[in-house]
Chains A and B, each alone.
Chain A
């Protein structure tokens, strides 16, 4: 099937999938329930999500494994099921993906290294266990995402590089500061991230969550200033959540997202997909925008 980064090097623009967490909630995942447990308890629902993105035209789908390290799973009493739950996550997306790619999702541990919550070795072992499960279930790439700390990102990349044959991708989450700069929660700017992640072994970098697609354009521009060549992926939120009467709404429509997709490509993104609040319809519209751009 080849590699995602090879397709990018050949000049292809690819489309990734949309939200998982908010989609699972729509399907009935309750507050306080473990999303990854659904890979065993509600496999049809998880499969449906992956399938709906493939049908919407995504070239790749993620897995339901964002909180799949032992650090997160043990809070639900599932610390001994890391391999099994991640393998099941990848198998479900693999089954739905057909000849499309599967990105094994790896989110942060929620632990802060500099506070001495955990050691680097413990963190490495946790990521190692997770990525091995994802590879066993058929993931093509490991998608390390929503990172805010460079050390944690670096350790996750190393764990994926050293223990799997998968391509290794990493995106971080940035917010706009009062002075209009982009920084992660831990104060990392997009340009700070570039060399560290690439040196650690990431074959693709980028940004996910924390922003609607408009801000992502600025983030990609910054990454491109630091490195014109590295493959870049964006998973943008459908805007920022608005809470109203017990319900959360993400305001950005599929049309708005698609309208800005060409600008994001001009800024230098190679893969566009969605994060929180995006739906198969968002991905369908982005797919159309990307196809149109190639024809033009």
Chain B
């Protein structure tokens, strides 16, 4: 049983989606996340174990490699694809409550900013680490973040911006959220964002990479 879970973790780490997938070349013709997850469920491995001992370690490893610049966006995207392929089979268990997610994370790119590559990357990494993710999309106004936070109590919110010009909006939105929901946990990220900026606008967390955010989120529920 442990062997199949570590194989699933490996498939996620290296982005092996299914047997037919040509990527990565070194895993050609091997079962992928798709086949192995189905097989594990058939063998009676719990969905919870598949998530926490298969998918999550795989995503964590790729997240750390990405932070260390040992892999780049394509490898993370492939890992996320393998992860989400496996996740499809686990979704029914989320709905019945048999698998517990760690919490809810709301994410969006701030008003005026139409970039979504970084936001999507973060959203997939967080989901692959056992969180429910609510993606509000791009060009998201303060009201939409606040509304989502009110709907999902105890959710943590993440604001993304790629442009230096939309950091102004990030500041405004973070402050609007804080004014409306003083206890809200606000995380921020994006190419121009810094820890200094985070401190100045009163956000709770900044990370230069998705894994740092995952670690912050996990620390809140530890």
What is A's interface to B at a CB cutoff of 8 Å? 25, 31-32, 72, 75, 110, 112, 114-115, 148, 177-179, 181, 183-187, 241, 243, 246, 248
Q: Are A187 and B166 closer than 8 Å at their CB atoms? A: no
CB-CB under 8 A for A31 and B73, given A75-B114, A110-B117, A112-B117: no
Q: Output the least CB separation between A270 and chain B (Å).
A: 29
The answer for the CA separation of A184 and B69 in the assembled complex, in Å, is 11
B25 at the interface (CB under 8 A from A): no
Are the C-beta atoms of B192 and A187 separated by less than 8 Å? Answer: no
Residue total for B at the interface (Cβ-Cβ under 8 A): 29
Which of A31, A72, A114 has the most CB atoms of chain B within a 10 A radius of its CB? A31
Q: Which of B75, B165, B171, B197 has its CB near the most chain A CB atoms (within 10 A)?
A: B165
Which chain B residues border A72 with CB–CB below 8 Å? 114
Does any Cβ of A come within 8 Å of B39's Cβ? no
Question: Is B46 an interface position by the 8 A CB rule?
Answer: no
Q: How far is the CA of A181 from the CA of B68 in the complex (A)?
A: 12
Listed A/B pairs (13) with beta-carbon separation below 8 Å: A31-B112, A31-B168, A31-B169, A72-B114, A114-B77, A115-B81, A148-B73, A186-B72, A187-B73, A187-B75, A243-B164, A243-B167, A248-B192
Find chain A residues with CB under 8 A from B178 CB: none
- In the complex formed, the residue of B with least CB distance to A75 is B114
- Cross-chain contact A25 with B165 (CB below 8 angstroms): yes
**With A and B bound together, what is the CA distance between A115 and B111 in angstroms?**
25
The 9 closest A-B pairs by CB, nearest first: A187-B72, A32-B112, A177-B69, A31-B112, A248-B164, A241-B164, A178-B69, A31-B165, A246-B168
**Closest CB in chain B relative to A193 CB, distance in Å:** 14
Chain A, Cβ-Cβ closest to B111: A32
Tell me, rounded to whole Å, the shortest Cβ–Cβ distance linking A242 to chain B: 9
Within 8 A of A (CB), among B93-123: 111-117
With A and B bound together, what is the CA distance between A177 and B71 in angstroms?
11
The residue of chain B having its C-beta at the shortest distance from the C-beta of A181 within the complex is B69
A183 close to B171 (CB less than 8 A) = no
Contact (Cβ within 8 A) A110 B71: no
Q: How far is the CB of A31 from chain B (nearest CB, A)?
A: 4
Q: Interface readout for B23-36 with A: 1 if CB under 8 Å, 0 if not?
A: 00000000000000
Does B139 touch A at the CB level, under 8 Å? yes
